[in-house]
Amino acid sequence: MHEIGIMESAMTFVLQHATENRARKVSRVVLRIGTLAGVEVESLRFAFDVVSRGTLAENADFEIEIVPASVFCQGCNDEFIQDTAGYIFICPTCGDLCGEIRRGRELELSRIEMN
SS3 of 94-111 = CCCEECEEEECCCEEEEE
- Name the β-bridge partners of 33: 66, 107
Distance from C-alpha of 25 to C-alpha of 11, rounded to nearest angstrom:
13
Q: Out of 73, 82, 104, 112, name the contact with Zn ion by CB under 5 A.
A: 73
Nearest residue (CB) to Zn ion, 48 versus 80: 80
99 binds Zn ion (CB under 5 A): no
Minimum CB separation from Zn ion for residue 103, in Å?
17
* Inter-residue contact 83 to 89 (CB < 8 Å): no
Minimum CB separation from Zn ion for residue 87, in Å?
17
Binding site for Zn ion (CB under 5 A): 73, 75-76, 91, 93-94
